[in-house]
Structure 1
Amino acid sequence: MFRRKAYDRLLEWKKTSAGHTAMLIEGARRVGKSTVAVEFARNEYDSYVLVDFTRVTDEFKQTFLDMRNDLDGFFLYLSAAFGVNLVRRKSLVIFDEVQLFPPAREFIKHLVADGRFDYIETGSLISINANVKDILIPSEEESMTMGPMDFEEFLWAMGETALATMIRHSFDADTAMPDALHRKAGRLWREYMLVGGMPQAVAAYTPSRDMAAADRAKRMVLKLYREDIEKYGDLAAKRIRAVFDAIPGQLSKHEKRLVYTQVENGSRSRDFMTAFAWLREAATVNLCVLAEDPSLGLALSADESTVKCYMADTGLLSTMAFSASGSSMPDVYRQVLLGADGVNEGMLAENAVAQQLAASGHDLYFYSKASNVREERMEIDFLIVRPYPDAAMKPRISPIEVKSGKRYSTISLDKFAVKFAGRIGTEYVLYPRPATREGNRRSLPLYMSFCL
């Protein structure tokens, strides 16, 4: 199994919860929820039971329901059915794909109160939300969202743990990486933009850096996501699919916000609210919302009708945008890997940065100002809230500009710094070059974005 940050969060949950809560691992399909739960069970408990609701029989489900008022008998049945010796306070029960059997999730309240064992549930977000109408959500349930691998996890998977540590050290120390390591990290970042962080794609790629094998794995995931849209999208399925398929085209434009009329003739923003809500819940996209008046409460000035729609995984975006159905690697992949001039890496770089920010727990916002006056026009790719050293580590708005090429300008960032001087903290430019600092502005290589 690949090393995942979710594992560390489970360790913290086990330590602090001490059996008083269950943990629900939510996320998109195929991001590794079940895998990390099982690995955690194997390493951190004497024994475990994995109840996979995609595989259990109707007889098991009925017995589950019949024995809910007899916990002693219920645990004896689990032990016998799965051939596992459950040990008080030293065993874990996993309800995998719990959304397929909602009564199991409701039962968590009584299981946690009983206190004999620990409990983890896993489930895909969209089908979880579609199957809770008739059950009482247990207050004893904590939750965590798990996404695709970020760049740091990708480095771990590639056997580059020391390099990942060096990148974090350089970020924290505000120093540039040594040239050789900078070039190496840049090459791996370009690989990451194409492979992405879906575990199946990374597993296909890592043994021999087989990009075609990674593409095949990603196409299977995309097929699954499109099938989910048809299965769970109900009356909005057609519009959800239209938004999903339009993402590469919208992100390839200079202004990457979603233009509704280009998705569906004559449509307006309110026509897509259900589609956005569904995609957000399914965790297959990262929505970046316009903040009209940037302040620490970014959500207070959010315009939900003006969004940029990024794929939750950049590798899936690269396959949607560039990959054919054949077994050979697309030529554009080779150009990206080589860092060739003239290749439009902008949408991949910006999408990958969005993925890192989302993985770090940031809600995504951007700023844009349209005006006939040139001095007032500007667009900032991302706005996040970070502690500001020059204000006793109090939080400030940090604007982020993403530059995929070595030739660039920071006109919008300069204007933004003047307009909102009293609100902003450190400014960031993410680009392909080594790290530098000039006053309040840090220019960082793109591969450091996971540190923000």
Structure 2
Amino acid sequence: MKRSIIDKLRLWKENKSRKPLVMTGLRQCGKTYTLKQFGADFFEDTAYFNFEENPSLCSIFDQDFNIERILDELGNIFRQKEIICGKTLVIFDEIQSCPKAITSLKYFCENKRELHVIAAGSLLGVALKNKDISFPVGKVDRLQMFPMSFKEFLWAEGFESLCNGTEKYADENPLSALYTSTFEKELRYYFAVGGMPEAVLSWSKNHNISEVVQIQNTILQDYESDFSKHAPITDVAKIGWIWDSIPAQLAKDNKKFIFSHVKARKRSADLEDALMWLVGAGLVYKLNLVTNPQSPISAYADNSYFKVYFADTGLLRAKAKIAPELLLESNESSLGNSGVGTFKGAFVENYCLSELIKNDIEPYFWTSGNTAELDFLFEYSGEIYPVEAKAESNTRAKSYNLFCTRYKSKKGFRISMKNIGVNMIENTKSISLPLYLLWLIKKYL
């Protein structure tokens, strides 16, 4: 299946100043498949090494970090085929299973930069926080992979031409029914199926939601098995408690994550490391509060006041045990009558957050005491943009209007099921953008 990250990989390949690339991302989001496809499409040869499947590979890195010796043993001895700079893509998969291979990336950068090397791993984000691993700071490029975006889901469903058509549309013209009817239906499918490649592939082939549910439940079970296999033994139970509590916390009107709701008599000091393990594994996103939206916005973030969302909307649905038929069978153009009740807000917020992150946007949320709350805001090229997300086509939002008026934003976004449109809130240009076109948000910045 087509993945947009291939374009970033191609740019990395063509960059003459490139360093070895470290790719992180949650398990089963498609890293291995995509890297092998990248190698097949852009290189004469791909040298693939998996340290989890072949633990003996680690012995090659035990002796020293002589890159010529390492390449000779990897190529001529292990795979019996020479590794050639400029022609061979070297993939070190599940590299977190070999800490010395991680350290060796420094020497690949210093002594063999002309060779294309990519290191990847499902729990690499967690491993890199391990103080016992000597990470080559400044000697690697970084790239994170995510579950499939809604745009990639549309590609898998055979609607790439429709996606291309929207990109040619004039920025402020409403979409015609040719687009809206398809996108509204497919967005419902995406809420139920999500973006895990195995689930998307099954859905695109058979449109059998029972098969998708089985795949999602297996993925959730695999993740929970990872807790006991890879997390510190003191955190395994805590990680499970947090993981299980997220849907219930998102179902609240106030979605602030509260540690005492995870387990009775447990405080943030008891559970914070476990939460950060989930963040490092790429399984959840942490959305921090900003009360003083100034540039640089990251300097004003309150890391102690936050919300927690799943990395994939389909897995959120499966974990919350919401029947997918409630999303698939409704003919409404909003989630308002879909039967998911108050959880519709959680679906929409989780979707919007993940789409923003996949667009290389780092979002926050804003509150003004107990009187107003804005779903998202982000900074781009020195400007701060407010974003209000709605499950329906009604875009009236007091908090959004208050923010635009108080902080005199030049531009803001109301994300809903309403078609493209523009209006003014005092001096703020407010853009109505459909949920199904959120992947185009940078076009409007």
- Normalized against structure 2, the TM-score is what? 0.89
1:179 to 170, 177, 180: 177
User: Quick check: 1:302 aligned with 2:307?
Assistant: no
Provide the residue aligned with 1:61 in structure 2: 58
Provide the residue aligned with 2:193 in structure 1: 195
Provide the residue aligned with 1:390 in structure 2: none
1:254 deviates by 1.9
1:204 deviates by 1.3
User: Quick check: 1:219 aligned with 2:204?
Assistant: no
Distance 1:286 1:160 in 2: 28
- Normalized against structure 1, the TM-score is what? 0.88
Provide the residue aligned with 2:398 in structure 1: 411
User: Quick check: 1:399 aligned with 2:396?
Assistant: no
Q: How many residues align?
A: 429
2:68 to 53, 68, 71: 71
Provide the residue aligned with 2:239 in structure 1: 240
1:126 deviates by 4.1
Go from structure 1 to structure 2 and tell me whether the alpha carbon gap of 1:425 and 1:117 turns closer, same or farther (over 3 Å shift).
Answer: same
Alignment of 1:354-373 (within 5 A): 354-371=353-370
Determine if contact 1:380/1:401 at 8 Å carries over to the other structure.
yes
Distance 1:69 1:386 in 2: 43
Distance 2:385 2:375 in 1: 11
Distance 1:73 1:14 in 2: 22
Provide the residue aligned with 2:351 in structure 1: 352
Provide the residue aligned with 1:433 in structure 2: 418
Go from structure 1 to structure 2 and tell me whether the alpha carbon gap of 1:140 and 1:350 turns closer, same or farther (over 3 Å shift).
Answer: same
Provide the residue aligned with 2:433 in structure 1: 444
User: Quick check: 1:108 aligned with 2:102?
Assistant: no
Unaligned runs of 5+ in 1: 324-328, 372-376, 388-394
Determine if contact 1:405/1:432 at 8 Å carries over to the other structure.
yes
Determine if contact 2:58/2:101 at 8 Å carries over to the other structure.
no
Go from structure 1 to structure 2 and tell me whether the alpha carbon gap of 1:402 and 1:82 turns closer, same or farther (over 3 Å shift).
Answer: same
Determine if contact 1:108/1:138 at 8 Å carries over to the other structure.
no
Provide the secondary structure at the position in 2 that maps to 1:444: strand
Provide the secondary structure at the position in 1 that maps to 2:410: coil
Alignment of 1:284-299 (within 5 A): 284-299=283-298
User: Quick check: 1:334 aligned with 2:328?
Assistant: yes
1:40 deviates by 1.1
Go from structure 1 to structure 2 and tell me whether the alpha carbon gap of 1:397 and 1:7 turns closer, same or farther (over 3 Å shift).
Answer: same
User: Quick check: 1:95 aligned with 2:92?
Assistant: yes
User: Partner letter of residue 78 of structure 2?
Assistant: A
Go from structure 1 to structure 2 and tell me whether the alpha carbon gap of 1:166 and 1:132 turns closer, same or farther (over 3 Å shift).
Answer: farther
Alignment of 1:132-171 (within 5 A): 133-137=132-136, 139-170=138-169
1:94 deviates by 1.0
1:271 deviates by 4.0
Unaligned runs of 5+ in 2: none
Determine if contact 2:21/2:119 at 8 Å carries over to the other structure.
yes
User: Partner letter of residue 451 of structure 1?
Assistant: L
Distance 2:40 2:376 in 1: 40
Distance 2:309 2:55 in 1: 39
Distance 1:320 1:74 in 2: 44
Provide the residue aligned with 2:204 in structure 1: 206
Provide the secondary structure at the position in 2 that maps to 1:191: helix
1:85 deviates by 4.0
Determine if contact 2:93/2:121 at 8 Å carries over to the other structure.
yes
Which string of whole-angstrom CA distances, capped at 9 and with x for unpartnered residues, describes residues 225-247 of structure 1? Answer: 22222331432332222221111
User: Partner letter of residue 414 of structure 2?
Assistant: V
1:386 deviates by 3.4
User: Partner letter of residue 435 of structure 2?
Assistant: L
Provide the secondary structure at the position in 2 that maps to 1:401: strand
1:145 deviates by 0.8
1:50 deviates by 0.5
1:277 deviates by 1.9
Distance 1:89 1:342 in 2: 53
Provide the secondary structure at the position in 2 that maps to 1:120: strand
Distance 1:334 1:249 in 2: 22
Larger mean CA deviation between 128-137 and 353-362 belongs to 128-137
Alignment of 1:116-135 (within 5 A): 117-124=115-122, 125-129=124-128, 133-135=132-134
User: Partner letter of residue 92 of structure 1?
Assistant: L
Provide the secondary structure at the position in 1 that maps to 2:373: strand
Distance 1:115 1:268 in 2: 47
Determine if contact 1:46/1:87 at 8 Å carries over to the other structure.
no
